[in-house]
Chain A
Amino acid sequence: MLSYIARRLAVIIPTLILVSIFIFTLQKILPGDPALALAGEERDAATLEFIREKYHLNDPIYLQYINWAGSALKGDLGISLRTNEPVTKLIGSKLPVTIQLAVMAMIIAFLVGVPAGVLSAVKKGTVVDYLANIVALSGLSIPNFWLGIMLILLVSVNLGWLPASGFESIFVDPVRSLQTMIMPAFVLGTSLAATLMRHTRSAMLGVLKADYVRTARSKGVSEHAVIIKHAFRNALLPIVTLSAVLFGQLLAGAVLTEQIFTIPGFGKLIVDAVFTRDYAVVQGVVLCTAIGFLGMNLIADIAYFLLNPRMRSML
């Protein structure tokens, strides 16, 4: 088991180094002198020279990278130009908000996508299957920022049922938190639910043709037990591992959702940073997202290993 994790880490670490080189290079593709961009309005020669010294911009580029990566390894991603706070602290304060949103979206996606996929597979070729597929494809095609706007229009503006924006931590005021986050979580979870539905359907269709399912049926096991105990349990393996990977993607989807519902999370942080040319924050968010994404991939691999008896037997 440990050797398996070590092998996976051996692939992830060089990938992470490349990601860091790529993120570092982003600042280098800024047109013109980066000191000018960092200086903002204060563009006198002394300020520019001070910035060049402070950010080691006069050093050779490989030294600049080593300095930057060394600081990043120690948890120092620089200082936000906008708020003058350490980027790590900013990200640390925003991340729990986005994680709460992503977890709620994941729960909604599971509750909708998985049962719909099972039903669609069991009723293959019927109207139910056809409808479920149309809804899933629509869920994949609908831009989530438009869905958010339409829901605000319907649920908040016209019906007045839920607030259109705002955030409250679930640990502070659970009821208020659910009221403010349910709609954004639904919006974020829509395309995920569609993806889960399609994968569940495909996995169930494969499993329902398996010999052990046929054997269970021939032994007189009830259809309900065949579907839940024999088929669904085995179809769940790829779905669980897929979910870990999709969770990383939810962080990206949160960018737009947080923007629409004015949720002060990770996604809003990067968008605000983009418009204030707060490059250290942009770099920090991209790096953290990549680490989170690779981490979730690793968890998916480990989950697959632990849940799959064939893989375990290879130990």
Chain B
Amino acid sequence: MSAAFDTVDTVEPEALPPRSGNRAWKKLKRNRSALVGLVLVSFFVLIALAAPLLPVPDPAATSWTAVRKAPSAAHWLGTDEIGRDILSRMIWGARASLMAGVVSVIIAVLIGVPLGLLSGYFGKWIDQIISRIADALLATPFLILAIALAAFLGPSLTNAMIAIGLSAMPVFIRLTRGQVLSVKTEDFVEGARAVGLGNGAIIFRYILPNVFAPILVQATLTIATAIIAEASLSFLGLGQQPPAPSWGSMLNVAKNFLTQAPWMAWWPGAAIFLVVLGFNLLGDGLRDALDPRES
């Protein structure tokens, strides 16, 4: 008995996730690309959060005297085909894009990670079933699956987020399962099992904290993919519905006015590009910062 508790005493400090938060942050701060990514992401998040406070016109307010006006002092980014201020729609559109990116990844993580934990930890038939489901979902390319789901669920931003979240989920199942398979054979997990800890406690106290870093990196990179997916669905008319603004739907309309009002297409695409680039840079930086092999 005492031997078992001795095991706990020696295992416990190792079992806790290494206190690498500060070290990772220091590494992240030294990575200039990651900092550029962080600045870009923070900028768009701030804009999205501050949208109601910013002195811009109502994004749905039309003006027949200002139809398709080029960028000017009155309308910094110009106006669209029914005289709405593009800057205002860009700012409010940031909310839809970022929310879609984050919410769909939350859906993917909340379903994918527990399934991956169960699959990797319990193995056997549970692993077989969950892995085959993940394989089946992965066999259908991300965007096709999202389009099909959005088509059957009906076009709306909420349904687009559900469709993107479900399409992104198998990646998290696979990733978590793989991580659990390597962590569950570690000494500290064996030790926890030896002292009689239940499966739930082992999973939540010992395994989950140790598989957290790669999930965080994947989540950051998947937000970038999800933002493009939402813009793609909105571009196809399957995401945010008019008159609510979203960058994808703005581009969908803009493509019909390329010769008369090219500025309608410039800004939404540039915004998608910058925010996705930001998340990609940040994700790459996080991967390097959290990778113990990187010195």
CB pair A286 B148 closer than 8 Å = yes
For B135, list chain A residues within 8 Å (CB): 11, 15, 18
A141 to B284, CA, bound (A): 13
For A11, list chain B residues within 8 Å (CB): 135
CB pair A15 B136 closer than 8 Å = yes
A16 to B255, CA, bound (A): 38
| Best-surrounded residue of B145, B151, B258 (most CB of chain A within 10 A) | B151
CB distance from A9 to the nearest CB of B (A): 14
For A274, list chain B residues within 8 Å (CB): 147, 150-151, 236, 238
CB distance from B135 to the nearest CB of A (A): 5
A153 to B257, CA, bound (A): 10
Q: Which of A19, A143, A252, A271 contacts B272 (CB 8 A)?
A: A143
A249 to B272, CA, bound (A): 21
Check: A150 CB closer than 8 A to any chain B CB.
Answer: yes
For A248, list chain B residues within 8 Å (CB): 141
Q: Tell me how many residues of A have a C-beta within 8 Å of chain B.
A: 51
| Best-surrounded residue of A138, A145, A271, A285 (most CB of chain B within 10 A) | A145
A259 to B147, CA, bound (A): 13
A140 to B273, CA, bound (A): 9
CB pair A152 B141 closer than 8 Å = no
For A21, list chain B residues within 8 Å (CB): 136
- Of all chain A residues, the one with the shortest Cβ separation from B237 is A275
Q: Which of B154, B273, B284 contacts A142 (CB 8 A)?
A: B273
CB pair B148 A249 closer than 8 Å = no
Check: A30 CB closer than 8 A to any chain B CB.
Answer: yes
A251 to B139, CA, bound (A): 12
Check: A253 CB closer than 8 A to any chain B CB.
Answer: yes
Q: Mark A125-148, 1 if CB is under 8 A from B, else 0.
A: 000000000000110111101110
CB pair B136 A271 closer than 8 Å = no
Check: B224 CB closer than 8 A to any chain A CB.
Answer: yes
- Of all chain B residues, the one with the shortest Cβ separation from A287 is B140
For A146, list chain B residues within 8 Å (CB): 251, 265, 268-269, 272-273
Stretch at the interface among B10-18, B86-94, B193-201, B275-283: B275-283
CB pair A141 B224 closer than 8 Å = yes
CB pair B144 A145 closer than 8 Å = no
Check: B152 CB closer than 8 A to any chain A CB.
Answer: yes
For B149, list chain A residues within 8 Å (CB): 26
Q: Mark A245-267, 1 if CB is under 8 A from B, else 0.
A: 00011011101100110000000
For B44, list chain A residues within 8 Å (CB): none
CB pair A29 B254 closer than 8 Å = no
Check: A157 CB closer than 8 A to any chain B CB.
Answer: yes
For A255, list chain B residues within 8 Å (CB): 143-144, 147, 236
Q: Tell me how many residues of B have a C-beta within 8 Å of chain A.
A: 44
Known A146-B251, A146-B269: A15·B139 in contact at CB below 8 Å: yes
CB distance from B76 to the nearest CB of A (A): 20
A18 to B143, CA, bound (A): 19
For A138, list chain B residues within 8 Å (CB): 273, 277
- Of all chain B residues, the one with the shortest Cβ separation from A137 is B280
Q: Which of B136, B148, B151, B235 contacts A145 (CB 8 A)?
A: B235
CB pair B148 A140 closer than 8 Å = no
CB distance from B41 to the nearest CB of A (A): 12
A253 to B144, CA, bound (A): 9
CB distance from A42 to the nearest CB of B (A): 21
A255 to B141, CA, bound (A): 11
* In the complex, the 6 A-B pairs of residues with the closest C-beta atoms, listed nearest first: A146-B269, A252-B141, A18-B136, A141-B277, A274-B151, A141-B276
Q: Which residues of B contact A (CB under 8 A)?
A: 132-133, 135-137, 139-145, 147-154, 224, 228, 231-232, 235-238, 251, 254-255, 258-259, 262, 265, 268-269, 272-273, 276-277, 280-281, 284
Known: A23-B148, A290-B136. 20 other contacts (CB 8 A): A26-B152, A27-B152, A140-B280, A145-B235, A145-B251, A146-B265, A146-B268, A146-B272, A149-B255, A149-B265, A153-B258, A153-B262, A253-B143, A256-B232, A256-B236, A274-B150, A282-B148, A289-B140, A290-B139, A290-B140
